[in-house]
Amino acid sequence: MKDARKIKDLLYEQVARIGKVFSSPKRLELIELLCQGEKTVEALANEASISVKLTSAHLRELRMAQLVETERQGKNIYYRLANKSVADLWVQVHTLAEDRLVDLQLALQRIADQPDDLIANDRDSLMKAARKGEVVVIDVRPSEEYLNAHLPFARSIPIDELRQRLSELPKDRAIVAYCRGPYCLMAVDAVTLLKKEGYSAIHLREGVAEWDAAQKI
Amino acid sequence: MKDARKIKDLLYEQVARIGKVFSSPKRLELIELLCQGEKTVEALANEASISVKLTSAHLRELRMAQLVETERQGKNIYYRLANKSVADLWVQVHTLAEDRLVDLQLALQRIADQPDDLIANDRDSLMKAARKGEVVVIDVRPSEEYLNAHLPFARSIPIDELRQRLSELPKDRAIVAYCRGPYCLMAVDAVTLLKKEGYSAIHLREGVAEWDAAQKI
DNA sequence: TAAATATTCCAACGATTGATAGATTGAAAT
DNA sequence: ATTTCAATCTATCAATCGTTGGAATATTTA
């Protein structure tokens, strides 16, 4: 059976097509953005700070690996993840990275002012507190992303509007802010602003994708 | 905040270090082998049909991504996965690949003679049947791999010894054979042999890694 | 101490990839 | 029908990767 080798090579090659998608930083960023809901090429390019052309090229890779679907709506072409398990895989990849790579751990620690992990470990108690109204959970992503999906009991206050809408928030309870995930800095900024204004604010590292992936394990 | 961009780039770059490991067919094969237990460089090279040098180079990538650990035992250096979640990630990557890539589905169907999936869907009933002795589950991998970990109720009959040890197996019950996973052809060969010899044999696509990963979801 | 074995390091080759610029498609608006 | 706009395709260059061969390292064995 000499061709057993050929068959195996073919199989692993196919799987590597998926792995390849997750091997480029910019593609990872695009995947994380797509975890927040469908987006146009231009929107993705802006968010990821790369040219539309390059974005299109990366999205082509995603399309060829069958990980995204496209749909034309008027002038624009919207991309979305083909499957929820793509988001789950993204979460598992970055979780493993955070687990194994010291450099990444250090970089993440430098971003957020420490003790915000007490919550990530403890989803149930956060939900209980949110349900009872003991804490206020705010989603600081753009409102379209909130509408697409959000954590239970979360209120939408996009980071751009936060300063003007501070009066909506109570000062006697903790404000928990989250955004797209651990690599999105919007929640960090929100917490910084809130603290400066005298609120007791907590940064939740997880986004909707991380939350969902954690729920089902 | 211009350097928000720099921070993000750094973070995604780190995660891509993990993704990159899963982007090469040969590295994937090495990971699957390491899922079966610790192995020397030479053993890995033989199993993957590549030179020791190339194996060493690929293992270097794995080491730099902190996904494997090494230990010297006498003359040899043994590699093992640094963490169970590396095996889980491998399972999730190849599962997503099988889910999305038609080419891969077709290739897998061509290997096995169809209706062996009835079991994969149905782990509990297989276990019940195995517990009651209604079916005989055999692990056709090398015995070291069996010793490292195996499915409950499984008996070790390495593929090389199967022909001589046929008398150990009953003809009045179904024999379920499994090996390293869906890309390993040992169980397929075992089933082919058993059927030719008049046994009723069933191929279980999953290996220990797949089984474990499925259990905890 | 020398020889044998297992593995890694180093240098080099062609193949592939990420990124950029220019030309092209294809739907929508005038 | 023509213009406009979003997105893709093509060509290109430098950088990186997979692979191979030769030299080097470290450990065991004689």
Q: Nearest nucleotide by C1' from B23 CA?
A: D17
Amino acid at position A9, single letter:
D
Q: Give the containing element (helix H, strand E) for A174.
A: strand A174-178
| Residue B77: CB less than 7 A from any atom in strand C | yes
Which residues bind near strand D, taking a CB cut-off of 7 Å? Answer: A 40-42, 52-53, 55-57, 59-60, 70, 75-77; B 20, 23-24, 26-27, 50-51, 53-54, 57-58, 61, 72, 74-75
Chain D bases under 7 Å from protein CB?
A: 5-10, 17-22, 27-29
Mean pLDDT of B115-134: 78
Sequence-distant (6+) residues with CB within 8 A of B189 are A1, B159
pLDDT for the residue numbered A8: 94
Count of beta carbons in the 10 Å neighbourhood of residue A73: 9
Give pLDDT < 70 ranges for chain A. 1-2, 113-121, 217
Q: Is residue B40 a contact partner of residue B2, using CB atoms and an 8 Å limit?
A: no
pLDDT for the residue numbered B125: 87
**B110 confidence band (pLDDT: 50, 70, 90):** confident
Among candidate residues A83, A81, A79, A82, the one with its CA nearest the CA of residue A40: A79
pLDDT for the residue numbered A113: 65
Q: Could you give the C-alpha distances from A48 to A52, A72, A129, A180, in angstroms and in order?
A: 10, 21, 34, 13
Active-site residues of A, by number, are 179
Amino acid at position B29, single letter:
E
Q: In this structure, what is the dihedral angle of CA atoms B184, B186, B191, B196, given to the nearest 10 degrees? A: 140
Residue B113 reports pLDDT greater than 70: no
Share of chain B above pLDDT 70, in %: 94
Using the CB atoms, write b or e for A121-139: b if 16+ within 10 Å.
Answer: eebeebbebbeeeebbbbb
Mean pLDDT of B187-197: 93
Q: Using CB atoms, which residue from A14, A100, A101 is nearest to B97?
A: A14
Task: Give the separation between CA A107 and CA A129, rounded to whole angstroms.
Answer: 30
Q: Using CB atoms, which residue from A12, A29, A102 is nearest to B183?
A: A12
Residues of chain B with Cβ-Cβ distance to A5 below 8 Å are: 49
Chain C bases under 7 Å from protein CB?
A: 5-10, 17-22, 26-29
Indicate yes or no: CB of A8 within 8 angstroms of CB of B29: yes
Q: Against a cut of 0.85, is the pTM above it?
A: yes
Please give, one letter per residue, the 3-state secondary structure of chain B: CCHHHHHHHHHHHHHHHHHHHCCCHHHHHHHHHHCCCCEEHHHHHHHHCCCHHHHHHHHHHHHHCCCEEEEEECCEEEEEECCHHHHHHHHHHHHHHHHHCHHHHHHHHHHCCCCCHHHHCCHHHHHHHHHHCCEEEEECCCHHHHHHCCCCCCEECCCCCCCCCHHHCCCCCEEEEECCCCCCCHHHHHHHHHHHCCCCEEECCCCHHHHHHHHCC
Task: Give the separation between CA B160 and CA B170, rounded to whole angstroms.
Answer: 19
Residue B121 reports pLDDT greater than 70: no
Mean pLDDT of B43-69: 96
Among candidate residues A95, A91, A69, the one with its CA nearest the CA of residue A82: A69
Q: In this structure, what is the dihedral angle of CA atoms B106, B107, B110, B115, given to the nearest 10 degrees? A: -60
pLDDT for the residue numbered B116: 53
Mean pLDDT of B32-47: 96
Q: Is residue A96 a contact partner of residue B85, using CB atoms and an 8 Å limit?
A: yes
Q: Using CB atoms, which residue from A86, A100, A217 is nearest to B217?
A: A217
